[in-house]
Amino acid sequence: MKRLRQLVLLTLAAVAVNACTAAGAFAGTFMIEDREEKIQSVTIAAVGDNLIHESIYKKAYDRKTDTYDFYHMYDPVRERISSYDIAVINQETVFVADRRQISSYPCFGTPCEIGDAIVNAGFDIVLGATNHTWGKGEYGVNTMLGYWRDHYPAITLLGIHESMEDYDAVDY
Protein backbone atom coordinates (compact mmCIF):
# COMPACT_ATOMS: atom_id res chain seq x y z
CA MET A 1 0.00 0.00 0.00
CA LYS A 2 2.90 2.36 0.75
CA ARG A 3 4.25 1.95 -2.82
CA LEU A 4 0.80 2.62 -4.27
CA ARG A 5 0.50 5.79 -2.19
CA GLN A 6 3.92 6.93 -3.44
CA LEU A 7 2.90 6.31 -7.05
CA VAL A 8 -0.29 8.28 -6.47
CA LEU A 9 1.78 11.17 -5.12
CA LEU A 10 4.02 11.04 -8.17
CA THR A 11 0.97 11.07 -10.43
CA LEU A 12 -0.50 14.01 -8.53
CA ALA A 13 2.79 15.86 -8.89
CA ALA A 14 2.68 15.24 -12.65
CA VAL A 15 -0.89 16.59 -12.78
CA ALA A 16 0.23 19.64 -10.84
CA VAL A 17 3.09 20.21 -13.24
CA ASN A 18 0.77 19.97 -16.23
CA ALA A 19 -1.43 22.58 -14.60
CA CYS A 20 1.69 24.64 -13.92
CA THR A 21 2.68 24.58 -17.57
CA ALA A 22 -0.77 25.77 -18.61
CA ALA A 23 -1.28 28.37 -15.91
CA GLY A 24 2.22 29.42 -14.79
CA ALA A 25 1.91 28.10 -11.23
CA PHE A 26 -0.12 25.60 -9.26
CA ALA A 27 -0.71 24.87 -5.61
CA GLY A 28 -3.19 22.53 -4.06
CA THR A 29 -4.06 19.89 -1.52
CA PHE A 30 -4.88 16.35 -2.49
CA MET A 31 -6.73 13.88 -0.30
CA ILE A 32 -5.73 10.23 -0.44
CA GLU A 33 -7.93 7.57 1.11
CA ASP A 34 -6.07 4.57 2.43
CA ARG A 35 -8.06 1.73 3.97
CA GLU A 36 -5.32 1.13 6.53
CA GLU A 37 -4.60 4.71 7.50
CA LYS A 38 -7.78 6.67 6.81
CA ILE A 39 -7.54 9.95 4.90
CA GLN A 40 -4.27 11.77 4.42
CA SER A 41 -3.55 15.04 2.70
CA VAL A 42 -0.61 16.16 0.61
CA THR A 43 0.10 19.73 -0.40
CA ILE A 44 1.77 20.33 -3.75
CA ALA A 45 3.14 23.45 -5.42
CA ALA A 46 4.42 23.53 -8.98
CA VAL A 47 6.03 26.56 -10.60
CA GLY A 48 7.78 27.43 -13.81
CA ASP A 49 9.50 28.51 -15.85
CA ASN A 50 12.79 29.13 -14.09
CA LEU A 51 14.21 30.77 -17.21
CA ILE A 52 17.55 32.44 -16.50
CA HIS A 53 18.25 35.29 -18.91
CA GLU A 54 21.39 37.42 -18.96
CA SER A 55 19.88 40.18 -16.80
CA ILE A 56 19.22 37.63 -14.06
CA TYR A 57 22.63 35.96 -13.96
CA LYS A 58 24.40 39.31 -14.25
CA LYS A 59 22.50 40.56 -11.20
CA ALA A 60 23.58 37.43 -9.28
CA TYR A 61 27.27 37.77 -10.19
CA ASP A 62 29.81 38.88 -7.56
CA ARG A 63 32.99 40.12 -9.27
CA LYS A 64 35.05 40.01 -6.07
CA THR A 65 34.53 36.28 -5.56
CA ASP A 66 33.77 35.28 -9.19
CA THR A 67 30.67 33.48 -7.96
CA TYR A 68 26.94 33.65 -8.54
CA ASP A 69 24.44 34.06 -5.71
CA PHE A 70 20.79 33.56 -6.65
CA TYR A 71 19.50 33.02 -3.09
CA HIS A 72 18.02 36.50 -2.66
CA MET A 73 15.94 36.11 -5.81
CA TYR A 74 13.84 33.45 -4.10
CA ASP A 75 13.46 35.28 -0.76
CA PRO A 76 9.91 36.47 -1.52
CA VAL A 77 8.66 32.89 -2.09
CA ARG A 78 10.98 30.77 0.11
CA GLU A 79 8.63 30.50 3.10
CA ARG A 80 5.63 29.66 0.95
CA ILE A 81 7.43 27.09 -1.22
CA SER A 82 8.95 25.41 1.85
CA SER A 83 5.50 25.05 3.40
CA TYR A 84 4.35 22.47 0.81
CA ASP A 85 4.90 18.73 1.17
CA ILE A 86 6.04 18.55 -2.45
CA ALA A 87 7.37 21.53 -4.40
CA VAL A 88 8.14 21.20 -8.11
CA ILE A 89 10.03 23.66 -10.30
CA ASN A 90 10.43 23.61 -14.06
CA GLN A 91 14.11 24.45 -14.60
CA GLU A 92 13.87 25.77 -18.12
CA THR A 93 17.62 26.14 -18.71
CA VAL A 94 20.49 23.68 -18.31
CA PHE A 95 23.38 24.25 -15.92
CA VAL A 96 26.95 24.96 -16.97
CA ALA A 97 30.08 24.81 -14.79
CA ASP A 98 32.38 26.33 -17.41
CA ARG A 99 31.98 30.11 -17.03
CA ARG A 100 32.60 30.53 -20.79
CA GLN A 101 29.39 28.57 -21.45
CA ILE A 102 27.12 30.93 -19.49
CA SER A 103 24.72 32.50 -21.96
CA SER A 104 21.22 33.73 -22.63
CA TYR A 105 18.80 33.25 -25.52
CA PRO A 106 18.77 31.23 -27.70
CA CYS A 107 21.29 28.72 -26.27
CA PHE A 108 20.88 29.17 -22.53
CA GLY A 109 23.62 28.12 -20.12
CA THR A 110 22.87 28.83 -16.46
CA PRO A 111 25.47 28.92 -13.67
CA CYS A 112 25.20 25.80 -11.51
CA GLU A 113 24.74 27.98 -8.42
CA ILE A 114 21.09 28.42 -9.37
CA GLY A 115 20.61 24.85 -8.13
CA ASP A 116 21.74 25.83 -4.62
CA ALA A 117 19.15 28.60 -4.56
CA ILE A 118 16.42 26.26 -5.85
CA VAL A 119 17.10 23.79 -3.04
CA ASN A 120 17.33 26.56 -0.46
CA ALA A 121 13.96 27.87 -1.63
CA GLY A 122 12.39 24.51 -0.75
CA PHE A 123 11.97 22.72 -4.06
CA ASP A 124 12.01 18.90 -3.99
CA ILE A 125 11.49 18.02 -7.65
CA VAL A 126 13.21 19.65 -10.63
CA LEU A 127 11.93 19.21 -14.15
CA GLY A 128 14.78 19.27 -16.66
CA ALA A 129 13.18 18.41 -20.00
CA THR A 130 12.31 21.62 -21.85
CA ASN A 131 12.74 23.10 -25.30
CA HIS A 132 16.07 24.56 -24.03
CA THR A 133 17.51 21.30 -22.69
CA TRP A 134 19.78 20.79 -25.69
CA GLY A 135 20.91 24.45 -25.82
CA LYS A 136 24.42 23.47 -24.72
CA GLY A 137 24.28 20.02 -26.25
CA GLU A 138 25.53 16.98 -24.43
CA TYR A 139 27.76 19.15 -22.22
CA GLY A 140 24.81 21.01 -20.71
CA VAL A 141 22.75 17.88 -20.12
CA ASN A 142 25.69 16.05 -18.52
CA THR A 143 26.57 19.06 -16.37
CA MET A 144 23.00 19.31 -15.08
CA LEU A 145 22.77 15.56 -14.42
CA GLY A 146 26.11 15.58 -12.62
CA TYR A 147 25.25 18.62 -10.56
CA TRP A 148 22.09 17.09 -9.11
CA ARG A 149 23.68 13.66 -8.66
CA ASP A 150 26.81 15.00 -6.93
CA HIS A 151 25.43 17.93 -4.91
CA TYR A 152 21.81 17.09 -4.11
CA PRO A 153 21.07 13.39 -4.70
CA ALA A 154 17.88 13.66 -2.60
CA ILE A 155 16.38 16.09 -5.13
CA THR A 156 14.40 14.30 -7.83
CA LEU A 157 15.38 15.39 -11.34
CA LEU A 158 12.80 14.40 -13.92
CA GLY A 159 12.94 14.44 -17.71
CA ILE A 160 16.65 13.90 -18.43
CA HIS A 161 18.54 10.71 -17.70
CA GLU A 162 22.06 9.30 -17.66
CA SER A 163 21.12 5.87 -19.02
CA MET A 164 18.25 3.74 -20.27
CA GLU A 165 18.20 2.06 -16.86
CA ASP A 166 17.75 5.47 -15.24
CA TYR A 167 15.08 6.34 -17.81
CA ASP A 168 13.14 3.13 -17.04
CA ALA A 169 13.27 3.65 -13.25
CA VAL A 170 10.21 5.19 -11.57
CA ASP A 171 11.23 8.07 -9.33
CA TYR A 172 9.16 8.58 -6.19
pLDDT per residue as tens digits for the range 91-119? 999 999 999 999 999 999 999 999 999 99
Kindly tell me if the per-residue pLDDT of 30 is higher than 80: no
pLDDT confidence of residue 25? 64
If one compares 82 and 14, the residue with the highest pLDDT of the two is: 82
Beta bridge partners of 158: 127
The three-class DSSP label of residue 109 is strand
Hey, how many other C-beta atoms are within 10 angstroms of the C-beta on 143? 19
Q: What is the pLDDT of residues 59-97, one digit of tens each?
A: 999 999 999 999 999 999 999 999 999 999 999 999 999
Question: CB atoms < 10 A from the CB of 45, how many?
Answer: 25
In this prediction, residue 19 carries a pLDDT of 46
pLDDT tens by residue, 155-164: 999 999 998 9
Average pLDDT value over all residues in the chain: 86
Cα atoms found within 13 Å of the Cα of residue 54, Cβ hemisphere only? 6
| pLDDT tens-digit map of 132-151 | 999 999 999 999 999 999 99
Instruction: Give me the pLDDT at residue 37, please.
Output: 66
For residue 5, is pLDDT > 70? no
**Band of pLDDT at residue 170, cut at 50, 70 and 90:** confident
Kindly state the greatest CA–CA separation across the chain: 59
Q: Among 14-18, 31-35, 50-54, 125-129, which stretch is predicted with the lowest mean pLDDT?
A: 14-18
Could you tell me the pTM of the whole model? 0.79
How many whole angstroms from its chain centre is CA 165?
A: 21
